[in-house]
Structure 1
Amino acid sequence: MLGLTSVCVFLFSALALAVTSGYSFGALTLLLASTCLLWKRPRLNLQRQDYLLLGTLLLYFCVFTANMLYHADPARELDMPLRALLAVPVLLLLLAYPPRPEAWWAGVAIGAIAGAMLAIWQFLVQDMPRPLAATSNAIHYGNISILFGMLAMCGLDWASMQSRRWLWRAALLLGCLAGIVGSIISGSRGGWITLPVCLVFLVIHHGKKHGKRYLVMGLLALGGLSILAYVLPHSTVKERITLGISNLHTFEDRGEVDTSIGQRLEMWRTAIDMSQQRPWTGLGRNGYMEQKSMLVTEGKASISIRRHTNAHNDYLDTLVKRGIVGVMALLALFLVPLSLFARALRHSAPAAQPYALAGVVLCTCYMIFGLTTSSLTLNIGIIMLVFPMVILWAMLRQQERIA
């Protein structure tokens, strides 16, 4: 079983961005493998922290499902919270049969590199202005690409403990670079915010272990990388930032909403206004679309936002559709695992810390992604949160047991 879970974990990350629905294939193999628990029935020896993570996933599923039933939303809306429920047996499987560390770190590095190679081909050869690799949306490709890049960086301490440390370091650094490059050429500005935040986490963490010189060098490298990405000729970063500032000025000066930034601001405004009608339970998906259509008809909202089925912000989208109760469940999905990983980062053995650090990065990235897009309303968004979450937690617990 250890070999099977290792292969499944490797495929989950390695195929995520380079194969259409590759993330779904990896998640499905893990879910199917979890059926072995029905007859093998291994001793799990679950601890309080395990129950907290399991309870958080179940709480998210139950709250969102109950709210959808209450509002009589379409059955397809169940797809997203269902992914959180399906991650529960996968977590139990991986706690019983934790995958080999090599499978996880190699999968992350290869996934980032393969996705970036496909995106570069689309950008240079196919003249695609905003590459999306094998995903359906450039925003979500860019977000997951930079997430993979930051996760690869978290594995450097693990690599330093291996017999072929220089090979593993090179692979993970290349994966980190590929993840950042993929995000940059995708033009997904919202994901770029995670880069300085996560790099500061990484630099502080490693600075505590390796001294202040490492901290200073890391911060200088962060500043140099940011400047270089902006000043390069034909820089996508400079172009997208300049366009964003222009969109914002246009919105402020003339109320123009027919731009990327303008539409987001208009969707956020209308979501906040509509959420006041039913603050605790929200309007549901159907109610949200109906109310928005009514505002457009009455001239109180721009027609350019009528077709969007979400508010392009996880927090506001949940507030207007699921109410305050839904927002609390969403915050629990982010903050409970974040606190568990952060605690392990402070108190666990050195062998467990790369997984704890990766868990902190994962949760932090998703909290930032949710500010400018509705990550959890799409299959790739929810899967690439809950499945890496349970994989990292199972590997962390394994290292704690053997320490």
Structure 2
Amino acid sequence: MGPLQLRRAFNPDYLVVFIVFAFQTVSAFRHGVSTSYWVLFILGVWYLLRKKIGLQREIKIFALLLLVYLACILPSYLYVDNWEGSLKQTRKILLLVLLPVFYHMFLVSKSRVQNLLLGSSLAGISFMAVASYEVYVLGYPAAKGPYNQIMFGSMAVTSALIALTWLLNAKYGWERIAAAGGGVLCLVSAVLSTSRGAWLGLMFGAVVVLLLNRPENARKRTLALASGGLLVAAIFFFVRDLVIERLAQAYTDFQLLISGTSMQTSLGQRWLMWKTALEMWMSSPIVGIGVGDYQYELAEKMSRGETDLGVLHGYAHNIYLEALATTGIVGLVGLLTALVVYPLTMYLRFYRRTSIGTEANQGSVLGIMITVVFAVFGLTENWTAHSQLIMYFALMQAVCLSVIARNYDRSS
């Protein structure tokens, strides 16, 4: 069977549903699934679907800014000491260039916003299966999936917020059931991860979704919010002890940090990592100490007794301070522009120019929410050091952009 026959046999109608569901499911279950397999799969599907289409101005600018960001970090390579770590981090950052490929693939497949919503809601089954097995069968203190609780919680939170968006805009009964069910499973999974950074992203993301989603039918909106509130209250009732314990621990950690009594807490260790990152940046403020060199420089500081950190961490647990330390002010500006500022301004522009409830409007709301929650995740976790989260970010952004491109009327 040749390429032409393969393309004819390949039905792309539910491509987004499958990829969004499969990506999150594999990320929740398996450790050690090579990123190269995903890249080959994506490029293979793109080959089957390839078709000459005109890329919209926004995706061209987005792709250009990603390339500019990569160019901004080039000078830092002059100062790299640990090339093994540098090349490893570079390989992960380069995954961002998959965003235009995802976009092209989803645009050709005529992706609809409901496909993203359905795929993420179905992923709640996978998240809940992993979380309940780890916590209630294996007896783990937190659900962490194959990587760690922060990554697991971050993906579960994002899917829960996507389900909330669907619930607020659902037109049919089956959509409300799927959205509510998927949202509950994702939310419980996020709670069981005990990741406070993910919970912080949940709060910011929920505010964005509730502020920007304004269904014309006030009765449906009220009903959706009331149902969502009852579900959240029911979830909190069953896991309240876990939530209260983690919040109380955060408060205690903060008191110990302020008083200087102990730094051997989660918050105290993060404070020391951030402080160390700033010290590294001050030694080379323009271009940084070198991409991927944070762990190497931290090991050097620990050997000289210049830090109170007792554990050698691989990164600073903050994408902004990590970028500042390793790529300098130039790299930080490039990162903020490409991953936060431009996406937000672009989606906000589309949001203002589209009617509430339309696919283009929902795509812009989801784009704003995803950008905001990943910006918040970056405050406590260096998600740009994890291949799965980088690809997840690119995947979700591409779906939102392709939905907008297919439904936005530029003559309006």
Return the TM-score normalized by structure 2: 0.85
Paired residues of 2:75 and 2:287 also in contact (CA < 8 A): no
Residue 181 of structure 1, CA deviation: 0.9
- Which secondary structure does the structure 2 equivalent of 1:258 belong to? coil
Tell me which of 317, 320, 336 is aligned to 1:312.
317
Tell me which of 24, 30, 36 is aligned to 1:20.
30
**Structure 2 vs 1, CA of residues 156 and 217 (structure 1 numbering), >3 Å: closer, same or farther?**
closer
**In 2, Cα distance between the equivalents of 1:212 and 1:126?**
44
Give 1:139's aligned residue: 150
User: Which structure 2 segments of 5+ residues have no match?
Assistant: 1-6
**In 1, Cα distance between the equivalents of 2:368 and 2:219?**
22
Give 2:326's aligned residue: 321
Paired residues of 1:229 and 1:237 also in contact (CA < 8 A): no
Matches within 5 A, 1:347-362: 347-349=353-355, 350-362=358-370
Paired residues of 1:158 and 1:351 also in contact (CA < 8 A): no
Paired residues of 2:112 and 2:359 also in contact (CA < 8 A): no
Q: Does 1:342 align with 2:352?
A: no
Residue 196 of structure 1, CA deviation: 2.4
Q: Does 1:166 align with 2:173?
A: yes
2:185 alignment partner AA: A
Residue 335 of structure 1, CA deviation: 1.9
Matches within 5 A, 1:156-305: 156=167, 159-160=170-171, 165-207=172-214, 209-211=216-218, 214=221, 218=225, 235-285=241-291, 287-305=293-311
Q: Does 1:95 align with 2:95?
A: no
Identity of aligned residues (%): 21
Give 2:17's aligned residue: 10
Q: Does 1:57 align with 2:63?
A: no
1:102-150 C-alpha deviation (Å, 9 max, x unpaired)? 43222111112221222112111111111123x3111100011000110
Give 1:79's aligned residue: 91
Give 1:120's aligned residue: 132
- Which secondary structure does the structure 2 equivalent of 1:370 belong to? helix
**In 2, Cα distance between the equivalents of 1:321 and 1:77?**
11
**Structure 2 vs 1, CA of residues 289 and 125 (structure 1 numbering), >3 Å: closer, same or farther?**
closer
- Which secondary structure does the structure 1 equivalent of 2:306 belong to? coil
Give 1:365's aligned residue: 373
Residue 231 of structure 1, CA deviation: 6.5
Q: Count matched residues.
A: 393
**Structure 2 vs 1, CA of residues 30 and 274 (structure 1 numbering), >3 Å: closer, same or farther?**
same
Paired residues of 2:184 and 2:231 also in contact (CA < 8 A): no
Residue 84 of structure 1, CA deviation: 0.8
- Which secondary structure does the structure 1 equivalent of 2:62 belong to? helix
Paired residues of 1:267 and 1:311 also in contact (CA < 8 A): yes
Give 2:57's aligned residue: 48
Q: RMSD of aligned C-alpha atoms? A: 3.1
**Structure 2 vs 1, CA of residues 109 and 227 (structure 1 numbering), >3 Å: closer, same or farther?**
closer
**In 2, Cα distance between the equivalents of 1:326 and 1:122?**
38
Paired residues of 1:230 and 1:238 also in contact (CA < 8 A): no
- Which secondary structure does the structure 2 equivalent of 1:235 belong to? helix
- Which secondary structure does the structure 2 equivalent of 1:304 belong to? coil
Q: Does 1:130 align with 2:142?
A: yes
**In 2, Cα distance between the equivalents of 1:125 and 1:259?**
27
**In 2, Cα distance between the equivalents of 1:41 and 1:138?**
40
**In 2, Cα distance between the equivalents of 1:33 and 1:138?**
31
Shifted more, 181-190 versus 99-108: the winner is: 99-108
Residue 197 of structure 1, CA deviation: 2.0
1:104 alignment partner AA: L
The one of the two structures with greater contact order (alpha-carbon pairs below 8 A, sep at least 6) is: 2
**In 1, Cα distance between the equivalents of 2:177 and 2:389?**
28
User: Which structure 1 segments of 5+ residues have no match?
Assistant: none
- Which secondary structure does the structure 1 equivalent of 2:380 belong to? coil
Q: Does 1:387 align with 2:398?
A: no
**Structure 2 vs 1, CA of residues 262 and 351 (structure 1 numbering), >3 Å: closer, same or farther?**
same
Residue 285 of structure 1, CA deviation: 4.4
Residue 158 of structure 1, CA deviation: 5.2
**Structure 2 vs 1, CA of residues 211 and 139 (structure 1 numbering), >3 Å: closer, same or farther?**
same
Paired residues of 1:203 and 1:219 also in contact (CA < 8 A): no
**Structure 2 vs 1, CA of residues 23 and 176 (structure 1 numbering), >3 Å: closer, same or farther?**
farther
1:170 alignment partner AA: I
1:136 alignment partner AA: Y
Paired residues of 2:165 and 2:213 also in contact (CA < 8 A): no
- Which secondary structure does the structure 1 equivalent of 2:29 belong to? coil
**In 1, Cα distance between the equivalents of 2:298 and 2:98?**
32
1:9-48 C-alpha deviation (Å, 9 max, x unpaired)? 22332131443267956664322222357xx542x22332
**In 1, Cα distance between the equivalents of 2:137 and 2:256?**
33
**Structure 2 vs 1, CA of residues 228 and 103 (structure 1 numbering), >3 Å: closer, same or farther?**
closer
